[in-house]
Chains A and B, each alone.
Chain A
Amino acid sequence: MADRKFSLKRLFQFYDEVLSLPHKNEIARELRDEDDLFLLLVYSDMLGIPNPAFYYTLELYPFIIERFHDWHLRMGMEKSPLDGIRCC
């Protein structure tokens, strides 16, 4: 029952949550767009766009491979566009 107790702090938290709901979404969307661009840069060589930093971006693969599936779905590709990555 303790967490149900009314307090001014909780009221402010609630109020802030109400008002910042659309902003949180918008900011998440902007950040996701930046991430999407970054993913395109990282995978550009495999997609046929020459990337001089390919050797370095290759090192990032293990870290971003898990996000690859969501990324290609968002980019409008139902199946993985890369033969080497068979996420679906």
Chain B
Amino acid sequence: MSAIWLAVAGGIIFILGYKYYSKFIAEKIYRLDPNYTTPAHQYKDGVDFVPTNKFVLWGHHFTSVAGAAPIVGPAIAVYWGWLPALLWVLLGTVFAAGVHDFGTLVLSVRNKGQSVGTLANKLIGQRAKVLFLFIILLLVLMVNAVFAWVIANLFISFPASVISVFIQIPLAIWIGYIVYKRKKSMLLPSLVALAVMYAAAIIASYVPALQIDLVSYFGGDNAAPILGLDATAMAFFVWIIILMVYVYIASTLPVWKLLQPRDYINSHQLIVGLGLLYLGLLFTNPEITAPVNNSSADTSWFPLLFITIACGAISGFHGLVSSGTSSKQLDKETDARFVGYLGAVGEGALALIAIIAVITFFPSTAEFSATYSGFTAANGEGLGVFIQGAAALASGLGIPASVASTIVSVIVVSFAATTLDSSVRLMRYIIAELGTEYNVTPLTKTHVATTTAVLSSAALTLIPQGPNGFGSGGYLLWPLFGTSNQLLAGISLLLIAIWLKRQGRNYWPAVIPMAFLMFMTLYAMFLQVMTQWAPWAGQSDWLLFIFGAIIFVFALWIMFTAASALMNSNKDRISKSA
């Protein structure tokens, strides 16, 4: 079957979801009011609170939430066949992510543009706020470890991409300088930067001397171990150290100097990436070679699928963006449907093309099954297969496969690096906030908080041991990342449900996805912790066992909080705004 049909079917479901389900939610559940004075107007200050055109705001919202995560999850989850992954992405986007992203936006708009953390405090109580901070802390810790591993892994697998990624740093600083000091537009310099990066990628694809291949520097695969590490493990170790030093500097610089100009270049890359993949799909018209479902899987899809694909189906991180920035810039309350719901749909479209790239890459089902031989193999190989699959789609536009794979890996690494920057920064803020909460003054200092964040992330990246020894175990953290992300989404849906209940409205559209998500997350974590990572289980791992157990306890705690908060009909805390 041609993969175009999947894209068409996905597109139709997304359109129907937006046209009918989001309309129902907007009119009957959230009851959007075009005359409501949004925080952007009420607190208009030209800085944080700025009424913004809905198309512009949607574009910004989408580029903020889209990253490497909706690519990695689906690339792993197609192990169970394309149908389960596809259904979860489509239905999750329409019934869970859309309601969640849209709902957090409306909830925040109805509460002075406050973030979900503050709203947790307001709607549930102080304990919920601290719980919320810990969940976000765990989430960003997982994000740091997983994405550091992803970047190091891609640098080792696609050494031609290294130079472009490092060229991006001085270019971004240059753009930041031009825009901030000279008050120029970012468009032209960022396009120049993009052209320079891709030119470097093309040249590096053909000139081996420009490929920073640390594995061969350390003597290749057959070299004698250095300090007990073989060449690949040593390369991995060096990349992680370089990344951590970089991220320390990047996350302590003012955002306009590096992070934002890089975001800007990456937004171009998102458009280029989506364009390359969807146009490539149209031109190559590839056949699906992956099985519909994998009947001989060594690990059941139920319930692991729901934590393997987090972003792309539903993601708690979106709630942070919705309530953190987008809610302060919404011009009219009725725009929330367009910005929030379609933001989730955009992410779903990215996950959809990631699935298509992987399931069309292999010439035959046998080869797919050989690479995706087990769940562990799928975790380790998924992202690499996506890059090659995406390169195969892009080659339909006349781009040589080697150049295309370099460019796609540059795009994925850039997304991952920006995520890493922001999440280390976020982790620093949370550590400082927890320091204030518990009166540990040293933790409130920038460099102490950043050092704590960077060292704990580096340790978490380096400690897990995969089947290929040191440095190959970072993907083991992926389910933990998915779990903490789903938990965050669960809490946000819970907040929406409590708010709806206190307004006397139908809260089931928020409660059903929340209950589903919480059940799947709890069940999946329970299975992983008790049957895989526990000291008595097959793949015993203390680190993962402890983290898994902590997350499991948090999830249980949230379930109880959810139940009691929903039962509690204390009207005192009702926001009077609606």
Contacts and interface: CB of A to CB of B under 8 A. Distances in A.
B405 to A, nearest CB: 26
Size category of the binding interface on chain B: 20 to 34
B57 A15 contact: no
Interface in B177-224: 179-180, 185-187, 190
A20 B63 contact: no
Contacts of B57: 21
Given A29-B47, A30-B180, A18 B255 contact: no
Interface string B39-69: 0000001111010110111011001100000
Contacts of B264: 19-20, 23
B15 to A, nearest CB: 22
Given A14-B55, A30-B254, A25 B187 contact: no
B532 interface: no
Contact of B263 (A15, A16, A22, A27): A22
B48 A25 contact: yes
Instruction: Determine chain B's interface SS by DSSP, over half rule.
Output: helix
B475 to A, nearest CB: 31
Contacts of B60: 18-19, 21-22
A26 B185 contact: no
B187 A23 contact: no
A70 B43 CA distance: 11
Instruction: Determine chain A's interface SS by DSSP, over half rule.
Output: helix
A21 B52 contact: yes
B168 interface: no
A80 B458 CA distance: 48
B406 interface: no
Given A26-B256, A30-B180, A20 B185 contact: yes
Given A19-B63, A20-B264, A32-B47, A27 B180 contact: yes
A12 interface: yes
Contact of B56 (A14, A26, A29, A30): A14
Given A18-B59, A19-B63, A25 B47 contact: yes
Given A17-B56, A18-B63, A23 B256 contact: yes
Given A25-B47, A26-B255, A28-B46, A18 B260 contact: no
B395 interface: no
A16 B57 CA distance: 12
A6 to B, nearest CB: 13
B267 A30 contact: no
B325 interface: yes
Contacts of A23: 179, 186, 256, 260-261, 264
A9 to B, nearest CB: 12
A12 B50 contact: no
B327 to A, nearest CB: 14
Interface in B489-516: none
B50 to A, nearest CB: 7
Nearest to A25: B47
Nearest to A28: B47
A32 B46 CA distance: 10
Contact of B187 (A15, A29, A70): A15
Contact of B186 (A20, A25, A28): A20
A53 B325 CA distance: 40
Among A19, A29, A32, max chain B CB count under 10 A is at A19
Interface of B: 45-48, 50, 52-53, 55-57, 59-60, 63-64, 179-180, 185-187, 190, 254-256, 260-261, 263-264, 267-268, 325, 329
Interface of A: 12, 14-23, 25-30, 32, 70
Given A15-B59, A18-B267, 7 more contacts: A18-B59, A19-B268, A21-B57, A23-B261, A25-B50, A28-B46, A29-B48
